[in-house]
């Protein structure tokens, strides 16, 4: 009989002491159910990645690990953000398991979709995206901004799966190729499709956070969209170039118009229009400089090639690793 795949559920946690006691047993139950259904190996694990929490999150993770061998935890040396925390967990997992599923720890993503994800993997898919089918529990405002986010991203050339965040199954094979994507500025949901391999989506309804508060208010979401776009694509620079060309043509027409007016003897008082044009051009130029500056900043960070994550503590032994990482 073929060996059952070994699954790691990778869960980033930042200041989640309120949520973890509620959701950790759910993840364990899911592993046990999948084992009982004969779909995965009993050596499967729930791997919590503590992202430099300031509350008791790490102590909680350690106590889970002491209680049940299916729980393990790794801790980042400081807070580095959601994306880097997920990456740390995936890189930890890639050499010891066959499949990973990354999911947030707040219970918003339906863990029952994992069954379909594993089924899709058993059918030969190496990447399975969890896609939210509806957003009824979100406020209208959150829904509008979140959906606008995906449209903006795609328009700007960052190919992301619509309504898919970071709930996805990735096989260890894909992860080992993913490890060759060395960029420091990471945006996982845009990068994973770039690796390729057979992929599919499963749909689920997104629930409300079980406890605690979102770390992604509008301001951070806008930052994430802007970062995601400039991390993945140079389209904004091209769009700006196109826009610049358009503005130049308009300006040229304006100049012709001014000359014709001047020759035809109409002396234009012209103060208002001059000020408008100067302001407009000034604004556009600053905006363009800002976008270009953003790219230069990213290049600066890339040239430094700082580590993307640093793991300071583990609740498990590295000797369990099957491959050299």
Indicate the residue among 62 and 98 with the shorter CB distance to ligand UDP.
62
Q: Which does 82 bind (CB under 5 to 8 A by kind): Mg ion, ligand UDP, none?
A: ligand UDP
Three-state SS at 152:
helix
Q: Which does 92 bind (CB under 5 to 8 A by kind): ligand UDP, Mg ion, none?
A: none
Tokens representing residue 295 in the block: 């790219």
Considering CB under 6 A, how many residues would be counted as binding ligand UDP? 16
Please select the residue that binds ligand UDP; options are 7, 44, 93, 104, rule is CB under 6 A. Answer: 104
User: Which one, of 86, 243, 254, lies nearest residue 170 by Cα?
Assistant: 86
* Shortest spacing between CB 136 and ligand UDP, in angstroms: 15
Contact call for residue 15 and Mg ion (CB under 5 A):
no
Which residue's entry shows tokens 């027409």?
253
Q: How many CB atoms neighbour CB 317 within 10 A?
A: 8
Contact call for residue 154 and ligand UDP (CB under 6 A):
no
**Environment class of 67 (CB within 10 Å of its CB; exposed 0-12, middle 13-18, buried 19+):** exposed
* Shortest spacing between CB 34 and Mg ion, in angstroms: 23
Contact call for residue 16 and ligand UDP (CB under 6 A):
yes
Please select the residue that binds Mg ion; options are 106, 110, 126, 227, rule is CB under 5 A. Answer: 106
- Window 107 to 136, contacts with ligand UDP (CB under 6 A): 108
Please select the residue that binds ligand UDP; options are 6, 51, 107, 132, rule is CB under 6 A. Answer: 51
73 close to 48: Cβ distance less than 8 angstroms? yes
Burial 246-283, CB ≥16 within 10 A → b, else e: eeeeeeeeeeeeeeeeeeeeeeeeeeeeeeeeeeeeee
Q: Which residues lie across from 46 on neighbouring strands?
A: 9, 71
Three-state SS at 105:
coil
Please select the residue that binds Mg ion; options are 50, 108, 163, 171, rule is CB under 5 A. Answer: 108
Q: Is 7 left (phi over 0), alpha (psi -120 to 50) or beta?
A: beta
- Window 64 to 83, contacts with ligand UDP (CB under 6 A): 79, 81-82
Site residues for ligand UDP per CB under 6 A: 12-14, 16, 51, 79, 81-82, 85, 104-106, 108, 214-216
Site residues for Mg ion per CB under 5 A: 104, 106, 108
């Amino acid at each position: 009989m073929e060996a059952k795949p070994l699954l790691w559920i990778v869960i980033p946690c930042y200041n989640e002491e309120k949520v973890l006691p509620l959701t950790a047993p759910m993840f364990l139950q899911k592993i046990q159910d999948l084992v009982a259904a004969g779909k995965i190996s009993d050596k499967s694990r729930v791997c919590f990645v503590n992202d430099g929490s300031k509350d008791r999150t790490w102590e909680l993770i350690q106590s889970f690990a002491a209680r049940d061998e299916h729980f393990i935890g790794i801790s980042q040396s400081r807070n580095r953000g959601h994306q880097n925390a997920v990456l740390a967990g995936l890189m930890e997992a890639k050499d010891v398991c066959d499949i990973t599923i990354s999911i947030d720890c707040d219970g918003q993503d339906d863990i029952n979709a994992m069954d379909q994800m594993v089924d899709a993997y058993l059918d030969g898919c190496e990447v399975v995206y969890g896609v939210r089918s509806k957003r009824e529990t979100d406020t209208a405002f959150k829904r509008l901004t979140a959906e606008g986010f995906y449209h903006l991203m795609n328009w700007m050339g960052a190919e992301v799966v619509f309504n898919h965040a970071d709930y996805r199954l990735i096989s260890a094979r894909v992860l080992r190729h993913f490890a060759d994507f060395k960029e420091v500025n990471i945006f996982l949901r845009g990068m994973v499709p770039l690796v390729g391999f057979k992929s599919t989506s499963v749909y689920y309804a997104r629930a409300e956070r079980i406890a605690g508060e979102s770390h992604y208010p509008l301001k951070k979401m806008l930052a994430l969209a802007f970062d995601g776009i400039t991390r993945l694509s140079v389209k904004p620079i091209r769009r700006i170039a196109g826009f610049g060309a358009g503005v130049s043509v308009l300006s040229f027409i304006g100049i012709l118009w001014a000359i014709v007016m001047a020759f035809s003897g109409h002396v234009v008082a012209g103060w208002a229009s001059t000020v408008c044009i100067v302001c407009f051009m000034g604004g556009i130029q600053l905006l363009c400089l800002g976008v270009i500056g953003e790219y230069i900043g990213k290049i600066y960070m890339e040239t430094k090639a700082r580590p993307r994550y640093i793991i300071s503590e583990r609740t498990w032994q590295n000797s369990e690793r099957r491959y050299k990482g």
